[in-house]
Structure formats: C-alpha cells, structure tokens
C-alpha cells in the first residue's frame, strides 16, 4: 500500500490551527508513574498510538495492575503494593522507550518478566541499562543476544543506592532509572558517567516527577537524587507533542503560510520545541506564547546546526532543507543510527532518490538542494518519522509517493487526516 501526494494549488493567508495529539514522551512517562501509584490515576490528553497503547497493555499484564483506554487518555488502577510478574511475555513491538521503562519496572514485580519486541527492536542496544542492573543487583537474563531483548527480568530489589548509567546511547535509560528510583525504600542517586545525549528528555522526566509530588534533586549537571514516593495526584495531564508539531511547523515553512500550534508554549520542557528556533534561524518568523506557538513561513536559508538535544526532528529538518537556499549540515546525531531505522542513512538515501544532494558521516548528514525535487516512491523502513517527514515534500513537488503510510500509527495515527485538513484549509 502506498499514498500518492499532490502539490498545493494555492496557499491561504489565513492562519491554520493544527490539531496535534498529546506527547508520546509525556504519555509514556505518565503511564509508568501512574502504574507506580496505589489506587486509580487518570492520564489526560494522552497520545493514543501504537507505542503508548502497547505500553499500557503491557503494564496491564502485571498482576495487581489494570489499564483502560479512555476517550482522552488512560485509566490506571493499582491494587497491590507488590505486583505479580505477567504470566505471558510483554511484547512491545518496535517501541524503544516503553521497552527501556518496562525493564526497570519489571524488576519490582514478584517473579520473572520477559520483555521482547519485533526484529528491529531486538537489535537495538539495551546494554547500558543492563550493565547498571549488574552493578546494582537487579537480576536478568538475555535470552538470545547479549545486551538486547528478549530479556527476562527477575524481581529483585537493588542492593545499592548509587546507580551509575552510561548516557551516550540513549537518555531513556536515565529516565527509566529515575522513575524506578522512586519505588525504592531509601533515596537513590542516579549518575550519568559520561556524555548525556538528548538531555531535555531527562529533564522532562524530572519535571513530570516533581509535578506529581516526587522529590528529585539535581546534583551537579549529570546526577539526580530521588526521594522515594508515589505520585500525590490522581490526574496527570499530557502536553501537545513537540515532535508531532514539527511536521506542521515545517509545512508552514515550506508553503510560506502561517500555522498555530495550541496547548504548548515557551515553557515546554520538550527538547523538540527547539525545532521552531531552527526554522527561525532558517528565516521564518516564530512567536512563542504561554500556551501556543505561531510560525509564519518565509524563504529558507541553509544552516549548520547541532541537533543532539532534538534527534526526533532531524528527519523533518532534512526534508525541509531540500527547499532551502544553500546547504544544511546537521551534526552530533550519532545515536540516530540505532533508532527505528538508521535515521542518518535513510533520509540521505531517500533524498538522493529524489534527485536532492545529500551525504552522511558517522554523526552528521548534509543536504545540498538542487532547485527541484523529482517524483519518487519513498521507502519508509517501517519508520513513522520517515513517512511523515517525506510527506512534506509532496506539498510542493508532484509525484511523491509514500510506501507503508500506515506506519505513522506508531506516534501520530491521525497524521494523514491532519495533512488533508491542511490541504483543505488552503485549497477550500
């Protein structure tokens, strides 16, 4: 199955207000924090997507824990202080964040929990958190490949209160340990032993824990002490998804139109909000309000930019840059090679397929616009962000065809409907 896109025939001067779902990152964290709280907790404005639904389903497999999908999010009910390990293995598809959170969560359940996923997930590195498990006394077994799922975690309380973690591959390992630390009997210090990639995602975790009443103290730049405790709120609201909004910020930039993103503002902890600043650097006019972000597209200039703190929007930038004047170089993105696909090689390959100049290095990619984008079928690598990013090129260029368009269900199930609404807004 494919989806053929068509260029816009005209552009309206009226601002377009986008409907962006709740943050996937916020939803994942909210679900686990809710699952650690006795009683019933409601997660509101949450993202209903493949990743979040799988995490909710997996949490609901633990004895003493029930999860239910609601119209605006999820209801999580915990009835046992010590949960029972699931009778069947936890299958998380290709969801990296839920996997890393579940590995820690399972360590507090009585019995043995098996966490597994699709073939690509079983290749993605989990060694950093497993190495920490070795040091702190959490028992586990890799059932096939060392450092990868499937992993069997045996319920076993950590034996130390100092938890070191390597932050060079994924910030999700750090967040996973911070949330786990809240379940201990004494304060725990989580320390990143080297470089921490995607730091804003850790700060998002810290902010959410604090808003839920869990005390987290920052000790220096790369260490946090968590005072154990459950959330003291029975409702956890979720902010608009900054990664998802990037596609409609880019749509405004490409079409030189105006887009308003509601329910997210200048104080958002999401690192991907920085994508609006990147577009501003490329020439767009951006306004940050308390509870909205507005962008007015202008002619784009190529830039050089370090994207370490916002890796999930690199693909959006790569396709947007194809219509800039001058080259764009994106640096410090080595960890993109171990995402749902190799997110450095994939955009370079697909841009080249469309006749756009592109090249890559170990931790960088560059886009060299040629003045046009040729028709072509985009291979999406079963990666939602490839599909959504390359769909943007269809706003201006004919013949852009997206393979496996349904893969957007991983993070933005209503993406195609929202894109159609964008077309209808401009074409009437």
Are residues 218 and 354 part of one domain?
A: no
In angstroms, the CA 304 to CA 327 distance is 8
Q: What is the pLDDT of residue 428?
A: 86
Q: Got the DSSP string for 150-175?
A: SEEEE----S-SEEEE--SS-THHHH
Same domain, 185 and 302: no
Q: What is the pLDDT of residue 324?
A: 98
Rounded Cα distance between 215 and 207, Å, is 10
Residue 221 is predicted with a pLDDT of: 86
Task: Say if residue 166 is in the same domain as residue 309.
Answer: no
Range of the domain at 128: 24-223
Instruction: Report the run of H or E that residue 39 belongs to, with start and end.
Output: strand 39-44
Our count of domains for the chain comes to 2
Same domain as 273, residue 192: no
- CA 271 to chain centroid, in Å, comes to 10
In a domain, 343, yes or no: yes
DSSP result, 186-240: S-EEEEE-S--TTHHHHHHHHHHHHHTT--EEE-SSSEEEE-----S-SEEE--B
Question: Does 79 lie in the same domain as 12?
Answer: no
39 and 154 in one domain?
yes
pLDDT of residue 316: 98
Low-confidence stretches of the chain (pLDDT < 50) are none
Q: Which of 199, 223, 247 is the last residue of a domain?
A: 223
CATH of the domain at 191: 3.65.10.10
Which residues lie below 8 Å from residue 309, measured CB to CB, with a gap of 6+? 198, 199, 200, 271, 274
Tell me, yes or no, whether 228 lies in a domain: no
My answer on whether 291 and 217 are in the same domain is: no
Task: Name the β-bridge partners of 358.
Answer: 367
| Tokens at 220, concatenated | 């220096």
In the listed set 223, 254, 287, which residue is the last one of a domain according to the structure?
A: 223
**φ, ψ at 245 (rounded to 5°):** -70, -20
307 and 380 fall within a common domain: yes
Task: Please report the pLDDT score of residue 220 as a whole number.
Answer: 86
Report CA Rg, the chain. 21
Q: Which residues have C-beta within 8 Å of that of residue 424, sequence separation ≥ 6? A: none
- Which residues are part of the catalytic machinery? 312
In a domain, 231, yes or no: no
Helix 199-211 vs helix 24-35: crossing angle, to nearest 10: 40
Which whole-number Å values give the CA distances from 103 to 129, 154, 194, 229, in the listed order? 9, 10, 22, 20
pLDDT tens for residues 185-212? 999 999 999 989 999 999 999 999 999 9
Residue 8 lies in a domain: yes
Residue 230, in any domain of the structure: no
Do 164 and 279 lie in one domain? The reply is: no
């Amino acid at each position: 199955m494919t989806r053929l896109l068509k260029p816009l025939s005209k552009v309206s001067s009226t601002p377009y207000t986008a409907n962006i779902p709740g943050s996937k990152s916020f939803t994942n964290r909210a679900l686990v924090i809710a699952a650690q709280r006795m009683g019933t907790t409601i997660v509101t404005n949450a993202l209903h997507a493949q990743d979040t639904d799988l995490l909710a389903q997996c949490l609901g497999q633990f004895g003493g824990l029930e999860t239910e999908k609601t119209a605006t999010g999820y209801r999580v009910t915990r009835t046992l202080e010590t949960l029972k390990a699931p009778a069947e293995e936890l299958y998380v598809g290709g969801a990296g964040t839920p996997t890393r959170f579940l590995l820690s969560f399972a360590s507090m359940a009585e019995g043995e929990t098996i966490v597994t996923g699709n073939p690509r997930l079983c290749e993605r590195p989990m060694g950093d958190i497993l190495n920490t498990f070795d040091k702190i006394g959490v028992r586990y077994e890799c059932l096939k490949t060392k450092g990868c799922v499937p992993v069997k975690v045996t319920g076993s309380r950590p034996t130390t209160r100092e938890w070191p973690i390597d932050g060079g591959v994924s910030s999700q390992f750090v967040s996973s340990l911070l949330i786990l630390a809240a379940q201990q009997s004494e304060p725990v210090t989580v320390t990143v032993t080297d470089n921490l990639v995607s730091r804003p995602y850790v700060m998002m975790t810290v902010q959410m824990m604090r808003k839920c009443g869990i005390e987290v103290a920052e000790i220096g730049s790369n260490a946090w002490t968590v005072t154990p405790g459950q959330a003291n709120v029975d409702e956890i609201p979720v902010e608009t998804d900054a990664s998802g909004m990037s596609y409609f910020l880019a749509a405004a930039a490409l079409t030189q139109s105006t887009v308003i993103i509601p329910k997210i503002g200048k104080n958002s902890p999401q690192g991907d909000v920085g994508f609006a600043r990147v577009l501003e650097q490329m020439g767009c006019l951006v306004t940050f309000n308390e509870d909205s972000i507005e962008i007015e597209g202008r002619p784009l200039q190529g830039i050089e930019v370090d994207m370490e703190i916002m890796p999930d929007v690199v693909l959006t930038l790569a396709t947007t840059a194809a219509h800039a004047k001058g080259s764009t170089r994106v640096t410090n993105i080595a960890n993109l090679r171990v995402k749902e696909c190799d997110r450095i090689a994939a955009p370079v390959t697909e841009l080249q397929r469309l006749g756009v100049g592109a090249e890559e290095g170990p931790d960088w990619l560059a886009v060299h616009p040629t003045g046009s984008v040729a028709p072509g079928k985009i291979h999406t690598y079963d990666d939602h962000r490839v599909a959504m990013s390359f769909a943007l090129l269809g706003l201006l260029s004919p013949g852009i065809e997206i393979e496996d368009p349904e893969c957007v269900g991983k993070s933005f199930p209503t993406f195609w409907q929202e894109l159609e609404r964008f077309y209808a807004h401009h074409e009437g």
